[in-house]
Amino acid sequence: MKKLFLFITCVFLIASCKEKDLMNPQTLEIKTIKDVKLVDGVLSFSSRQHLKDVIQEISASKEMENWYSNPEFTSLLKRQRSITQSEYDKIGKTGELGELGDVLTFKGEGDNKILGKIIKIPELSAVLNSKSYVIVSDSAYHIGTNEVTSIHIGEDLDKLSSFLKDPYIQGAHRVEIGRITLKNARIQSDFRQTRGDRRIYGSNEIISFGGVGSYRQLYVEYLKKNWIGWSPTEAPRLSFTITATTQPYGGQYLYHKVEAWNVEGIGFTLQESTWGTLIYYNFNANMDCDVFGEYNFTANF
């Protein structure tokens, strides 16, 4: 019994020392935006924690798509936001993605087929280049529609160049993007007049991108009916009101409001915590969409 007690005590002390080391500023090197490098048009982060910290740092920026000022870098977010309504409408009529096939995708089938962005997390899109590449530590990553491909590059710029041309080159690893649906949105409509060619689509997911990180996101899109099914269209105003707690029986409390004008969708995103677990256990969100003062949609998560 005494030996067991001593063993448990030693384990506790070792764990405590490790935790103190992690929290000690002398042993933990803090990396920030100024430490981000640009390699062959792709942003390079020293570690996954560095990537996480930078995303946290830029998340409050009003000009998120332009946070990294270098003419040799264009973010995926900037490319996403440059898509015009006429481009959405053209794809909605023809069903052909064309040059936007690495930015947009179709989900669902039949009347529920929806055109949307492959990556809907703006904080992540802001650190990816326009072709969805990023470097973390000594590996390069590419995020596709359903999977993340990666390859160890070290200092080998030739290998990086080959990977940027083809993310499925020999030696690349594939990891399926993990999605866990937590709770579907309950959509309600309050019309002054009936209109069946508009709808709200809501999602509440944990999304894992392998070595690029995991995220929890609430997202709502405003859609209009077309030949292929549904495609994004701008709403005059979208807003979220969110409450959450960190644990099933209470804990840290969160209140947050997200609001935007003349957009086709808005979201609220949380990254994984330092210890690899997703914070905020219990979400409750109310969302409303005001369309030309005539139509009102609400979504409850």
pLDDT tens string for the chain (301 positions)? 444 333 333 433 333 443 444 444 433 466 789 999 999 999 999 999 999 999 999 987 878 988 999 999 999 999 999 999 999 999 999 999 999 999 999 998 887 899 999 999 999 999 999 999 999 999 999 999 999 999 999 999 999 999 999 999 999 999 999 998 876 656 665 544 446 788 878 788 889 999 999 998 888 888 899 999 999 998 888 877 777 776 666 666 677 777 888 888 888 888 876 445 555 566 676 666 665 555 566 666 6
The single-letter DSSP state of residue 213 is -
112 Rama sector, left if φ>0, alpha if ψ -120 to 50, beta otherwise: alpha
Say which residues have a Cβ less than 8 Å from residue 84's Cβ, sequence separation at least 6.
none
pTM here is 0.82
SS3 202: strand
Nearest to 146 by CA among 184, 118, 187, 115: 118
CATH of the domain spanning 179-300 = 2.60.40
Domain ranges of the chain: 179-300
Burial 267-283 (b: 16+ CB within 10 A, else e): bbbbbbeeeeeebbbeb
User: Distance of CA 245 to CAs 29, 105, 230, Å?
Assistant: 30, 33, 34
Residue 103 CB neighbour total at 10 angstroms: 19
